[in-house]
Structure formats: C-alpha cells, structure tokens
Amino acid sequence: MLREGEIRIPSGCAISGIFSKSGKRISGEAIIKSIATMHDRSNGLGGGFAAYGIYPEYKDYYAFHIFYDGNISKRECEEFLERHFDIINLSKIPTRKTQGITDVPLIWRYFVTPLSTKLSDSQLDEKEFVARCVMKINTKIDGAYVFSSGKNMGVFKAVGYPEDVGEFYRLSEYEGYCWTAHGRYPTNTPGWWGGAHPFALLDYSVVHNGEISSYDANRRTIEMYGYKCTLQTDTEAITYIIDYLNRRIGLNLEEISSVVAAPFWQVIDRMPKEEKEKHTYLRNAFPSLLITGPFSILVGFDGGMMALNDRLKLRSMVVGEKDDMVYIASEECAIRVIEQNLDKVWSPQGGEAVIVTLNGGAK
Amino acid sequence: MGINFLYPEYEVIRNMDKCINCRVCERQCANEVHTYDEERKIMCSDDALCVNCHRCVSLCPTRALKIVKSDHTFKENANWSNRAITEIYKQSESGGVLLSSMGNPKDYPVYFDKILINASQVTNPSIDPLREPMETKVFLGSKPKKIERDKDGNLINNLSAGIELAMPIMFSAMSYGSISYNAHESLARAAKEVGILYNTGEGGLHKDFYQYGSNTIVQVASGRFGVHKDYLEAGAAIEIKMGQGAKPGIGGHLPGAKIVGDISKTRMVPKGSDAISPAPHHDIYSIEDLRQLVYSLKEATDYKKPVIVKIAAVHNVAAIASGIARSGADIIAIDGFRGGTGAAPTRIRDNVGIPIELALASVDQRLRDEGIRDNVSIVIGGSIRNSGDIIKAVALGADAVYIGTAALIALGCHLCRSCHTGKCNWGIATQRPELVKRLNPNVGYKRLVNLVRAWNHEIKEMMGGMGINSIESLKGNRLMLRGVGLNEKELQILGIKHAGE
C-alpha cells in the first residue's frame, strides 16, 4: 500500500480550538474532551494537537518534533542537525502505552538554534534558514520527518482517534494558552503518522476540515516559491500558503483571508472605493492562492489563532466566547462540553476571518 | 485536358425534381460553379470550381442541392494517397508552392480529445452555478513580487498594466485585409458587449474601430503595417507577433490585389502593392532584441499598456517562453500547429510546429520550475473548438485562450479552407464588396456574443461540477485532468495522470 505523500488522500474531519486571550495556561485535558465529543467525525485514522506556550523554559529555541522510522534515519538526521544547529536539549517525547495507538515510530524532540556561521553563510534570515532545513530533512532524509518546528509551541499527532492520541502524548501534563485539535476521517489508510494533523511549519500550525478543489493549482504555485508538498494534503498546502503570504510577502492575517477566501466579485463591486481597490488588488496579485472547495481551518501562530471558512461556508464552524476564553469548533457541542455558560456563540460567515490574539501581544 | 486534369474532389448533386431554376445558387457562388443552360432550361454545375463552402446549399430555397465527396479514386495505395498524387500534378504544372488556408487538417493526435475532466462526488460538494456565484473573470499581466505599503500601512497598487477579461476567452489576431470590414466590426462589437478583447492582426486598425479601443489588442508584426503612435495608444494591449501556429518561421504576403481602398490606408501601404511581412522581425534576431522592442513599445505608450509576445508552438517552445518571460513582456501567447490562417504554404502548415496542448504544458511547467510563472500570463490558441478545450487548457496552465477559427465559424465560415482565393462566399475572408455585404455585422456580432456566452455557461457548469467557484482555482490545476490512451511520455509532458490512477 502507498504511504500518504505518495498518493493524495481526501479526508473529512473535526476541528477544535481553545484560546486564552489573557495568556492563561491551561492543560490539554479540555481540548481532549472537546475533540472527543466529535468522535464520529473521525474514523481512527488520524488525530493530533497543537499547543502554544508549552515550552516557556526553552521559548527562544526552535522545538523540533521528529518521527523516525528507525535508528538509521535518526542518526542521519541528527548528523544533519548537528551540522546546522546548536542542539540545546534533546529527548524522547514522553508517551504512554495506549490501546488504539500502534505502529509507534521513534518520536524525538530537539530544542535548537541555528549555528551562527551556517546562518550567515546561507545569507538567509533565521526563519527562512530553519524552514529550509526542515524542508530538507523531510524531503531528503528517508525515514525522518519533522512535524513541528516552532518556538514555544509543539505539535503532537498520530494515527488513531484524537482522544487516544492526547492520552498517548500525555497532553494533560502540558500547559498552553492556545490549543488546537484535529480528528481525521481519511478515505484511505494513510500508512504513517506524518499525514495526521495539525500540519506545522515554524510557528504556524493548521488544522483543517475539508477537501479543497483548488489543491493542485495551489500546490503548483506554492512549490514555485520553494515549498515542497511531500504529503499531498490540503493542510500542508494551506500552511505553506499562510507562511508564504505572512512571513515572506508581509500580508497580515485579514489580508491573507481575503486572498485565500476572497470575497466574490459581486460583493467586491458593492464595497466602498478603498475596500474595493484593496480586494481587487489582492485577487489580481495573488490569484493562484485562492482556495476553493470546502474548508474550515484553525491557524495557530505565535500569540494568536485564526479561524476561517471557505467562501461558501461549505463546512460547519462555530465560535463561542466566555470571559477571556475563545472556543472554536466544528460543532457547538464540542464547545458546550467544556464551557456550559458561554457569553456569546456565533457562526462566522464564509470567508470571514475570526482572529484572536493575546491581550498583551505575543509571548 | 490531359495529364493535368484532376477529377473534382467534391460533386454538386442537384435534385432536378426539386430545382425551380431560381438561380440563387448561380448568384451566390463567387466561384461560378452554377450556370443556367438557357437551351435546356436547367441549372448546370462545374464541380471542378466548387470549394465545398455550402453557400449554395444553405440558400437553396427548395433544398435541391448537396455536396458530396467524390468516389472517384486512384488505385488504392496506402502510401500514395489521392492527395499526394494530385499535389504532384499541381506542382509539376505550376512550379509553385502549394497554398492552403485555415488550420492543419491532417490526422495528428488531438490531445484535448484524450483528456478528461474531473467532478466532485461525496467528499466535497459540487456547486450549482444557478444558485451560487461562479466566477470567470481573469486578469492578465505580470504579478508583483512584493507588496508595498503607504505610510499608513495601506497596500499600494503596484501592479503593472494588465488586461481584465470577463471570461478567459479572446478573439485571436485576424487582420483587416485577411478578413473583411464587416467581420472586424462583428468581432469588435462582440468583444465590447461581453467584456473581452479582439485583436487587429497585422493589418492596422480602421479608423471606424478606434471606438472599441478598450476591447482591442493592437498587433505589431514584422511588416509593421499600420503601426503608429495613435494606433499603439488606441488599444488595451499591444501584441508583438513573432510567429503564427499555421506557419511558424515564415512571414506573410497580402497580394497587391487585396490592397485596395481602406485597407491600403489602414495598413499604410500604397494601393496595389504587395504587403510582405518578413519572416523574422529585422530588428529582432535574438532574445535581447525582443526585450528592446518590448520596452520601446512600453516607452511609446508610457507603460500603460501590457505587451503580449505571440509565438508559434515549436520544438523548443519552453526555453523560448522562458526567455520571453524575462524580457519584460507581460503576456505570452502561444499558437499551436492547428492554428488557422488566411493563407500559408501547405507544407509548412501541415508539417511545422507542435500541438498546443504539449506546448502549453511544457511552458507552464518550465516557467514554474524557474520560478517565473508570475512574470507573465499565458494565452493559448490553435485550436480551441469548444468550452471543454478551454477548461482543459486552463487546467493545464493557461490564463486564457484565443479563438479564431471558432469565431469565424460562428460568423458563417464553413471551413472550406479557400480563404487564400479571396472569394469567400460568406463575406468573411474577402474584400469584394458584393461578398462582404453578405456578412451583416448586426447579426454577426450577436452570433459571436451568443457563442462566447454559451461557452462561458458551460465553463461555469463544469467548474461547478469540480467544486471550483472561481477560474483562478482551475488554472494549472492538473489534478482535475486525466489522460486516456496516452503513453507515459505524453502523460509526463502533460503533467497529468492516466484515467483510473
């Protein structure tokens, strides 16, 4: 059977996110409970979480989470890391034997910072250097796969139901100000863990529910900018698009949402002059990064979270607020199960970005 | 008659029971096929003069006429076809180059017909264009590599001049001279009505048509006929014609007999003298020269007009396109070997160039591999026959398509491929006033509008079926295509999978 990446596998999904605007760190228990409520939206073939603010003691270092098929790929990858990075700390990621989580690869965590000589030789800025190293490991080192590479954040994912994945990674022992979760319903067996979500690059992580019809248009465009879509999943392409538009082009998240889930021309035509010009410009300048077909995504980033639906809202997504907490999920029940008394509940419109950030800015 | 007598390829069959001797056929045929035999009181026809344009058939009030392929034949020979033999007779008589019109009719593979389109089932929904917006608007031109902001942080529009199209279709270059005034008027008015562009070809722009300037592409070809400052400024875009799919590598020749009246004035060529477009532009012998012409034209028009460079699809098209994408051009137009023409040497039309599907796929991929796909838009033609071809072209990577032959067919062309004789019975490829007036631009423009609107409806239906609600998301989306009956190499060049994969 082909591994994910060798074939493209469409999936249905559940997503959920929790965000504390005050930066209060909460354990992983709530998010597991939330995503478990939507058990039937996944089929046991993929689950995962992204957590922000979980490594305060190493917040200045890139935290690499890496899957290895075996010790040979581990050795090769570690040699690569040593050539390019100062490794501050390395360890196995603690896990717990869990029924329902099998075929476990080696899972290691490294806190690293680029070697200054290597970085200056590369003539790249630091993030670009790190991104390229990640890309290189994932495409060139057989059996090694970096699935998390941001600072003070981490992705935890596996093949299984999301609640089992949370249990497996002992997420109740981590505390973060932002959690996102994903339960996957792929139509094929993915064959390995890399295909589970969230998908992440640097500080960006994306959980996604949908199957985008623009995939190959998006993929072929983003690959032109140096990204390599090794998994052939929508989520991977969306993550790269957001990274490209935000970090490399310099669009803010609202502008990005106007690119990827652009308003229809009939809406733009009715806008006031300045808005109309802005949206016309964005659609004209970045046409191939428009995403069509159903999606609801949660984008985690340093100090914030964005939720976005496709322009027709072909996937459900609900937002709930209580005090400084913001909850976003595929279904309202996944919010109610962890917070009964919400101040406010609503469904964002198609293409309407919901962006929440820490009150005090990024941490 | 002897050795040079060629039995006519087509026979005019007249049902004498139906014929009423009204002589419409006689009046309608510029080739003088039909005559009235006063003595016998019957209509006669000389099959040898018939080009099979169906004018008489279409206008016969009693439906007494039909044209059939002759069953007269040489002794069967898989190598020496009837055509091969008759062409030798013709050439040994005349000593000349064989001339033909319209696109390559030979039996080469049509890749569009070996590609199939996807549709959504279950995992994502198809979209009903009758209920939801379905967008086909396209912007052509180069895209900015970075954004700029003003002091308040607002985005600055740093896009260079481009083209906006209501749908990814344009009328391709056909000069005033090769086609009639009425044909041009029909194209111009149709382009304006539906929000697309037509193209002057290399014959200049008649003063009556300056009013359609915002829907006009003005062409600068190797003869530079009709090119002056007002002309360049009149259009929405300027096209440098380097080549044409029907006759890559050679120029053009409008005989002096056609340089009459307004055509002489519009082309800026003296009446009666031949208008010869050289094979190359004599100021462009290399890619760096092209760059100079691109910027000369931009300077002349104050950088307000995008520049299109049109080339024929030839073997090395990907590398050539890559050079053009770095030349300052905003749009590359590629014309496939099936593209039409008003006149071309038969051997060139039938043997030179490559299929547009392969040329497009390799150009799009090459520009992406080199990271310069955003520098230019790609427009392809030669030949697009229906909306299915357009969907496939866009999914292979085209931003828009040019249609020429299809537009002429909408105007009444019956593809008799005799344009070079100048006796078009349908008033399209002729300058004879009594023939030109047969094409009523009020009717012609409406037929063109109908055609592109119908195609746009079909494009929307197919996009909706794929779950795509904006044409941008179809562009280069090769996963939406599958090949049937193609070999590995063909699939690799097209960048698509085989059906079932």
Residue B372 falls inside a structural domain: yes
Q: Identify all chain B residues contacting A13, using CB atoms and an 8 Å cutoff.
A: none
Q: Judge whether residue A5 has pLDDT over 60.
A: yes
Q: Give residue ranges of B with CB < 8 Å to any A CB.
A: 120, 123-125, 127, 132-133, 135, 137, 139, 143-144, 146-147, 154-155, 157, 159, 162, 368, 371, 373-374, 466-470, 472-480
Name the residue range of residue B265's domain. Answer: 138-270+292-498
Q: Beta strand A344-346 with A62-68: parallel, antiparallel or unpaired?
A: unpaired
Say what percent of chain B tops pLDDT 90.
91
Q: Is A223 on the interface with B (CB under 8 A)?
A: yes
Residues B377 and B314 in one domain: yes
Q: Judge whether residue A331 has pLDDT over 60.
A: yes
Q: Return d(Cα A81, Cα B78) in angstroms, integer.
A: 67
Q: Return d(Cα B462, Cα B61) in angstroms, integer.
A: 40
Q: Identify all chain A residues contacting B480, using CB atoms and an 8 Å cutoff.
A: 213, 216
Q: Return d(Cα B495, Cα B286) in angstroms, integer.
A: 30
- The answer to whether the CB atoms of A214 and B468 lie below 8 A apart is yes
Residue B116 falls inside a structural domain: no
Residue B276 falls inside a structural domain: no
Whose tokens are 């304006």? That residue is B192
Mean pLDDT of A107-119: 96
Residues B330 and B250 in one domain: yes
* Segment A259-302, tens digit of pLDDT: 999 999 999 999 999 999 999 999 999 999 999 999 999 999 99
Q: Supply the CATH number for residue B6's domain.
A: 3.30.70.20
Residues B398 and B259 in one domain: yes
**Going along chain A, which residue ranges are E strands?**
11-20, 26-27, 47-52, 62-68, 85-92, 106-114, 144-148, 153-158, 175-176, 178-186, 199-201, 204-210, 295-301, 304-309, 318-322, 325-329, 344-346, 354-357
Residue B433 falls inside a structural domain: yes
Q: Is A143 helix (H, G, I), strand (E, B) or coil?
A: coil
Q: Judge whether residue A6 has pLDDT over 90.
A: no
Residue B149 falls inside a structural domain: yes
Residues B169 and B68 in one domain: no
Q: Judge whether residue A363 has pLDDT over 50.
A: no
DSSP secondary structure letter of residue A248: I
Domains in chain B: how many in total? 2
Q: Supply the CATH number for residue B304's domain.
A: 3.20.20.70
Mean of per-residue pLDDT scores for chain A: 93
Residue B20 falls inside a structural domain: yes
Query: pLDDT confidence of B236, banded at 50, 70, 90?
Result: very high
**Residues of A assigned a catalytic role:** 13
Measure B123 CA to nearest chain A CA, in Å: 7
- The answer to whether the CB atoms of A287 and B146 lie below 8 A apart is no
* Segment A137-168, tens digit of pLDDT: 999 999 999 999 999 999 999 999 999 999 99
Query: pLDDT confidence of A360, banded at 50, 70, 90?
Result: low
Residue B120 falls inside a structural domain: no
Respond yes or no on whether ipTM tops 0.90.
yes
Q: Is A210 on the interface with B (CB under 8 A)?
A: yes
* Domains of chain A, start order: 11-357 (3.60.20.10)
Query: pLDDT confidence of B1, banded at 50, 70, 90?
Result: low
Mean of per-residue pLDDT scores for chain B: 95
Residues 6+ apart with CB under 8 A from B408: B174, B179, B183, B340, B428, B429
**Cβ atoms of residues A308 and A294 within 8 Å:** no
CA dihedral sign, ordered B177, B179, B180, B184 = negative
Residue B12 falls inside a structural domain: yes
Measure B133 CA to nearest chain A CA, in Å: 7
Q: Which of A220, A255, A259, A277 to mutate to test binding with chain B, by most B CBs within 10 Å of its CB?
A: A220
Mean pLDDT of B8-18: 95
Query: pLDDT confidence of B99, banded at 50, 70, 90?
Result: very high
Q: Which of B472, B475, B497 to mutate to test binding with chain A, by most A CBs within 10 Å of its CB?
A: B472
